[in-house]
Amino acid sequence: MKKIIYSLAIAVFFIGCSDSFLDPDRPNTTTDETVADLAAESPEALLNIASSFDVGTINSLRTFGVGGSGGDHNDFGQKGIDIMMDVMSNDMITLESNTGWFFRNYNYTGRIQEATATSTIWNYYYEIIKGSNQTIGLIGNLPADALTQDLKYVLARAKATRGYSYLSLIQIY
């Protein structure tokens, strides 16, 4: 029985090794050249891909759990962060300062280094930045004549979303 197991392990080891796994020019790898070719051949297809990246990023602005809090009720996108900031600036007054989703922020204990809200805000904005960078990386390197008006719109929206995220991080931290 041991010989069979050793034989199978060796067979799997040799079958699992291949030089093509390390080949950087695999056909399913997207490069700037393949994106430029797609823009020349079918601008509509490139627009669909770029728009799907962009829509995914925009949807993350209002999705529960993007900040990676593990299920905290205050991790529900941009509006959750807006409420956290409003409560801390005393723009909103709560009747009881020790209950509710945002009571730690109201008591100014929710923004200490170990608090979940601190990492939630940081992780949330960097998820938005990551999504924006995917869109910008896809169409940002195309020559100006290859960009249609729709692609320019998607690119501008991705850059604006990324810029807003950086601005928010600067203001908060």
The per-residue pLDDT for range 118-150, each reduced to its tens digit, is 888 888 999 999 999 999 988 888 888 888 899
Q: What is the pLDDT of residue 13?
A: 66
Q: What is the pLDDT of residue 165?
A: 96
| 155 within a domain of the structure (yes/no) | yes
> Which residues are CB-neighbours of 89 under 8 A, at least 6 positions away?
none
The whole domain housing 89 covers 31-172
| 25 within a domain of the structure (yes/no) | no
User: Are 139 and 154 within 8 A, CB to CB?
Assistant: yes
| 21 within a domain of the structure (yes/no) | no
Q: How many domains does the chain have?
A: 1
User: Are 74 and 104 within 8 A, CB to CB?
Assistant: no
Q: What is the pLDDT of residue 136?
A: 93
| 128 within a domain of the structure (yes/no) | yes
Q: Structure pTM?
A: 0.72
| 134 within a domain of the structure (yes/no) | yes
| 19 within a domain of the structure (yes/no) | no
| 3 within a domain of the structure (yes/no) | no
Q: What is the pLDDT of residue 18?
A: 62
Nearest-angstrom CA–CA distance, 146 and 93: 52
127 to each of 49, 77, 84, 115, 117, how far by Cα in Å?
19, 11, 19, 19, 15
User: Are 57 and 135 within 8 A, CB to CB?
Assistant: yes
Angle between helices 116-139 and 149-172 (to 10 degrees): 160
Q: What is the pLDDT of residue 30?
A: 66
Those residues of the chain that have pLDDT short of 50 are none
> Which residues are CB-neighbours of 72 under 8 A, at least 6 positions away?
101, 116, 117, 120
User: Are 167 and 173 within 8 A, CB to CB?
Assistant: no
